[in-house]
Homo-oligomer: A and B are copies of this chain.
């Protein structure tokens, strides 16, 4: 680790300036200093990505699968130095980070399997009907092709799984898109280590150097230049609402607008139904306190808003939550900046008239997040926009609703979400069923009797949802469906078999699943 970026296979010490990440626990600057990119450096990375695109997308799915598997192997091969660097930069504990590393490798391997299975290619064939009247039908064949080079912006809260070799990179590379990553300021060392692993995998697999670049930059100018670069055809982003919407504006203002897949802001409502609250309110309270404080509350899917109907069972739930929270230690937050924004958010909730229900153990380190649970009445919530804002960290607001109608009013009022969790017992099923159509419109994932903080990587996962949870609710950033973000359909009409790509040739040499005349063959 020497402070360099990787631009199309070459190590380059950026000369625009320099930047260091800091130890999350202490705020101390960490070695090395990284040189930051000029806009020319950004343009070169993007031009090299474009140069690599045709050869990369024409690798076979098996070859790209091998590349993804090799990246996973190389990330694991870094071993403990990677885990130690992430711990230092993020303040997250070893167990969590070892788990996250496993998840990151799991994502890469899942997309390798998706490539081998072949449905991602979306092959459709409508065979010619030369005798059709009044006009013959041509031969039509459709496949999905990659959109082109993709820019990826990693997240602070998943320095491995949503960063340099995270889900956006894995799905873009799987689709056949070269990737230019802008390293997250909060984990530059982690980013450099993982980028080196990707670069080793690229060399081992004999791929064009432009397939992957890592750019270091401070401030917004490098990111803006990256999204504005004409060679970039799509953007993956995980971060704040302000950051995401700024990139959306940049992308929409280009001469050729491009899609931005930004995963941004969510307070993840938790609905406590009456029978569940009566039957097992205490257990739910314990689960809630644990989910709220997991990773210092720094999950996109952190349960920031609880809604329940006013009742003695709700009071008991709050007592139990207060008790459960009171013994949970504070933990270091990801960055001093996040810590300070969190503390301000908590103060605002108090100032906006929310009542303090309970707190976690007081912090012992400078940058530890002090967990808070507040409560307020539904009417207050509805009339107080300040209470709707996400507080990134271990703080939640319980909204006391008079009845189901008021709970519906609160739900109708809130913005789009990543998740909504329902706690239900048998007696609640009818009410939950009735609410489902509204909940579907508000979130990308609905879950029962749990919390959203575990995001399973699979085929049926949606980590997405209506704005402002994401910029594009038609997609997900976790799970195998994420590959579709980086594909577009092309139709081939009457193209002779020897000119067609193998995907579409009559003999189906790659053995791809195909839809013939609208039905899976």
B-chain residues with CB within 8 Å of residue A248 when the two chains form the complex = 252, 257
Instruction: Give the residue among A114, A443, A464, A518 with the most B Cβ atoms within 10 A.
Output: A518
Q: Known: A454-B135, A459-B518. Is A440-B498 also a contact (CB below 8 A)?
A: no
CA distance A1 to B52 in the complex (A): 59
Contact A460 B494 (CB under 8 A): no
Contact A433 B138 (CB under 8 A): no
B-chain residues with CB within 8 Å of residue A475 when the two chains form the complex = 489
A495: which of B137, B446, B456 is its contact (CB, 8 Å)?
A: B446
Contact B499 A432 (CB under 8 A): yes
Report the nearest B residue to A99, measured CB to CB.
Answer: B134
Report the nearest B residue to A480, measured CB to CB.
Answer: B518
Contact B138 A517 (CB under 8 A): no
Contact A445 B54 (CB under 8 A): no
CA distance A449 to B461 in the complex (A): 44
Contact B471 A117 (CB under 8 A): no
Q: Known: A447-B138, A459-B124. Is A429-B499 also a contact (CB below 8 A)?
A: yes
B-chain residues with CB within 8 Å of residue A142 when the two chains form the complex = 459-462, 481
A257: which of B424, B458, B467 is its contact (CB, 8 Å)?
A: B467
B-chain residues with CB within 8 Å of residue A379 when the two chains form the complex = none
Number of residues in A with C-beta < 8 Å to the partner?
A: 84
Whether A496 is near chain B, meaning CB under 8 Å from some CB there, is yes
Give the oligomeric copy count.
2
Report the nearest B residue to A452, measured CB to CB.
Answer: B493
CA distance A99 to B135 in the complex (A): 11
Whether A444 is near chain B, meaning CB under 8 Å from some CB there, is yes
B-chain residues with CB within 8 Å of residue A450 when the two chains form the complex = 138, 493-494
B-chain residues with CB within 8 Å of residue A515 when the two chains form the complex = 119, 459
Whether A167 is near chain B, meaning CB under 8 Å from some CB there, is no
Q: How far is the CB of A401 from chain B (nearest CB, A)?
A: 20
CA distance A349 to B78 in the complex (A): 62
Whether A441 is near chain B, meaning CB under 8 Å from some CB there, is yes
Contact A471 B257 (CB under 8 A): yes
Whether A490 is near chain B, meaning CB under 8 Å from some CB there, is yes
Q: How far is the CB of A98 from chain B (nearest CB, A)?
A: 11
Q: How far is the CB of A159 from chain B (nearest CB, A)?
A: 21
Q: How far is the CB of A185 from chain B (nearest CB, A)?
A: 26
Instruction: List residues 295-344 of chain A with CB under 8 A from any CB of chain B.
Output: none
- Cβ contacts A to B, 23 pairs, < 8 Å: A114-B518, A117-B519, A124-B460, A126-B456, A126-B460, A138-B454, A142-B461, A142-B481, A145-B440, A147-B473, A257-B467, A422-B495, A424-B496, A432-B499, A440-B490, A445-B491, A446-B490, A447-B494, A450-B493, A458-B518, A462-B490, A462-B491, A480-B518
Given A140-B460, A429-B499, A449-B494, 17 further pairs, Cβ under 8 A: A54-B437, A126-B461, A138-B450, A147-B474, A248-B257, A422-B495, A436-B499, A436-B501, A444-B491, A445-B493, A446-B493, A446-B495, A447-B494, A458-B517, A460-B491, A464-B488, A473-B488
